[in-house]
Amino acid sequence: MPTSGYQGLSRADLAVLVPELLLCGHLIDRSGMAHSIAAFGRDGMAEVAIEEWQLASPVYTRRMQRALGFTGDSVETIFKGLQLDIGAPPQFMDFRFRVDDHDHGEFWLDHCGALADVEPMGEDFVVSMCHDIEDPTFDATALATNPHAQVRPIHRPPRQPADRHPVCAWTVVISDSHVPPPVPANAALVAESVAAGVELADVDTSSEGMSDYAGPLLSDLRFPDFSHSALVRMAEEVCLQQHLLTLGFMIAVRSRTDAAAAADIGRKQFTGIAGLTSERIRDSLRLGEDTRSLAQVLRLHPALNPLSYTGVEITETPDAVRLRVPADTGAQRDGAWPAMLTPEHPAPLEAMVRGVNPRFTPRVLTASPEGFTVEITLGEKIFREASEVAITRFSTGADFAFTDRGIPLPLTVV
């Protein structure tokens, strides 16, 4: 069995795919929060969002720091982490940074895709996102680097005037006088998950390109500058970010409803993001709509990676693709996305394959206590897009296009 779904990609394709994975990770909440609002109301949705990010972001932030060799306790380290965080996908959430010294800095957003999504919904939703949710979750991300870091607004939406630019600005200050907030009650459930401790292949420092991010903070990350090995590791870490966020999401949801309703919300969240992610992977790598393209999309889909966590196997026949989902893996033990793929609940997989071509149909071939196998074939019937995918498509991120910004600048202390 291959050890990585990404190893076979070219360096150039990996450089295209990594920011796509970061953006799709961000769009998870465009799917999940819609169903949280329906179940718990706007205030309940905000509580779910706060808890999921508080539980997940410290875990995956430290993982990425270790993977790319930029561990430390400075403001600069915090900013580097944000550049590789599904909470801040490049360009869509256009973070700009200034570092004053080890303990002081500022960031602001020249463009905020999340705000573009929420502003049409009214001021109450803007306040919920930019005040209620951001205050504790920005701090949770910063605290992963330094327990005495605080993120505080200079200004933020609702925008006054309505076209205020940048849309928001924040200070980051590290001080021994800052008392760290209490550890969230359910933090250990994510911190001690299988996903949190998954071991991935070390970056090969001998390959061409940047093998780490130990150098200066850059104004933008230009992914083609990184080595093939570093990009593979980034891609797999971003997949784990998505799984960890989903674990946090499900913990928050289960604490507010019964098991059956929580499972239903989880599958709807998964369905919405699964289909849109397949579509964006297909388009970003200029793939087609045939079975070979489907097999490639499935090999790269974050819900099915990293392979050391999910154990998923994908094989091709002349006119079909087969997907094997084993029952005894880290993802199954955690209750992550692969655990939501069952013969009885095909919606997430149907959305995933129909994001490549709406004529694909999965059919269960075998099922046993060891797992199940699905065969996916191309038929004549064109299936309507799942409502969960249509809800996720509400985000401006669904059609967002990345641009080449040229050579990034190092951000030295001012």
> What gap in Å lies between CA 245 and CA 51, rounded to an integer?
10
pLDDT tens over the chain, length 414 residues:
567 889 999 999 999 999 999 999 999 998 999 999 999 999 999 999 999 999 999 999 999 999 999 999 999 999 999 999 999 999 999 999 999 999 999 999 999 999 999 999 999 999 999 999 999 999 999 999 999 999 999 999 999 998 899 999 999 999 999 999 889 999 999 999 999 999 999 999 998 999 999 999 999 999 999 999 999 999 999 999 999 999 999 999 999 999 999 999 999 999 999 999 999 999 999 999 999 999 999 999 999 999 999 999 999 988 999 999 999 999 999 999 999 999 999 999 999 999 999 999 999 999 999 999 999 999 999 999 999 999 999 899 999 999 998 888 888 765
The pLDDT of residue 413: 63
Long-range contacts of 279-282 (CB under 8 A, 24+ apart): 279/355, 279/356, 280/20, 280/23, 280/24, 280/398, 281/17, 281/20, 281/24, 282/355, 282/356
**What are the C-alpha distances in Å from 151 to residues 42, 55, 251?**
24, 17, 25
pLDDT for 181 equals 87
Q: Report pLDDT for 264.
A: 97
Helices (H) and strands (E) in the chain, counts: 15, 8
pLDDT at 318: 86
pLDDT value for 322: 98
Residue 207: Cβ within 10 Å count: 16
d(CA 154, CA 152): 7
Phi and psi at residue 171, in whole multiples of 5°?
-100, 150
The tokens describing 73, both together, are 């306790």
Check residue 335 and give its pLDDT: 97
DSSP-derived secondary structure letter, 120:
G
Q: Which strand (E) or helix (H) includes residue 66?
A: helix 28-67
**What contacts 216, CB < 8 A, 6 or more positions away?**
410, 411, 412
**Spatial distance between the Cα atoms of 203 and 260, rounded to a whole number of angstroms:** 41
Can you tell me the distance from the alpha carbon of 53 to that of 247, in angstroms, rounded to the nearest whole number?
10
Token duo for residue 52: 């999921």
Where along the chain do its domains lie?
Answer: 11-244, 258-394
* Residue count of the chain: 414
Which pLDDT score, from 0 to 100, does residue 4 have?
A: 85
What is the β-pairing status of strands 360-368 and 149-155? unpaired
Give the Cα separation of 246 and 143 in Å (integer).
Answer: 20
The 10s digit of each residue's pLDDT in 215-233 is 999 999 999 999 999 999 9
Please, is 396 exposed, middle or buried when counting C-beta atoms within 10 Å of its C-beta (0-12, 13-18, 19+)? middle
State residue 414's pLDDT score.
Answer: 55
